[in-house]
Structure 1
Amino acid sequence: MNKQPAVYLMASGRNGTLYAGVTGDLVRRAWQHRDHVIAGFSQRYKVEQLVWFELHDTFESAIKREKQIKKWRREWKIDLIETANPYWLDLWPGLLET
């Protein structure tokens, strides 16, 4: 099974709580957040909407990018989301279509 490294941002809603993560299976990981399969931060703060993601060629580059984004100020993360997704639409349905 081929894994596609990805960095992603989940949100509780527009301008809400944000969660940055990295995964090799974005569909599965977004589903875990949405359905609260794993107890923790996203369950506690209702971080259920996939609002941004970026695919990478290697896990090394994805992990490096995730660490970079986690150090960013909140405003920079919001700018990143709004550049690609100005209405903060949940990108989850689009993942299922591909």
Structure 2
Amino acid sequence: MKKFVYIVTDRNRTSMHVGMSSDLIKTLDFYKKMPSLFFDSAQQLTRLVYFEEFRTEAQAIARFKVVSRFTRMQKERLVRSCNPDWIDLTIGLDFEHILMSKPINTQVTMPLSILS
């Protein structure tokens, strides 16, 4: 099962939170449903700005321990290294999740005019 280490931030990039999850979409959905659980409502951590994927939990835990000890400047550099515009990556994950959950139609259909 895949594991992810991620960084989420608020709209103004005031707060940054490092986390680990096996299901990023569910985790981000939780952040959106419980906006003031960890911080006040002005600092809703709803923007996924960075994530890494790992094959094992041990790898993810090791990386989580490293990234969570980063200073703010180091976290910002990490985000900018692959997401310089701080775009919310949730949009791409949602799209990929939708594609992966739909069965792929492999059946070839022929127009009726060819069959007659």
TM over 0.5: yes
Q: 1:48 to 1:76 in 2, by over 3 A?
A: same
Unaligned runs of 5+ in 2: 97-116
2:57 corresponds to: 59
TM-score for both structures, normalised by structure 1: 0.87
Question: Which residue in 2 is equivalent to 1:82?
Answer: 80
The alignment-based identity, stated in percent, is: 26
Give yes or no for contact 1:14–1:88 (8 Å, CA) kept in 2: no
Matched, 1:40 2:37: yes
Q: TM-score, normalised by structure 2?
A: 0.74
CA shift in 2, pair 1:54/1:78, >3 Å: same
C-alpha distance in 2, partners of 1:5/1:83? 21
Residue correspondences, number: 95
Whole-Å Cα distance in 1 between the matches of residues 39 and 2 of structure 2? 22
Using CA pairs under 8 Å that are at least 6 residues apart, name the structure with larger relative contact order, 1 or 2. Answer: 1
For residue 30 of structure 1, give the secondary structure of its aligned residue in structure 2.
Answer: helix
- Which structure's CA Rg is the greater one? 2
The match for 2:90 among 86, 89, 92 is: 92
1:12 to 10, 13, 20: 10
Please give the secondary structure, in 2, of the residue aligned with 1:8: strand
Question: Which ranges of structure 1 fall in alignment gaps of 5 or more residues?
Answer: none
User: 1:14: Cα distance to partner?
Assistant: 4.8
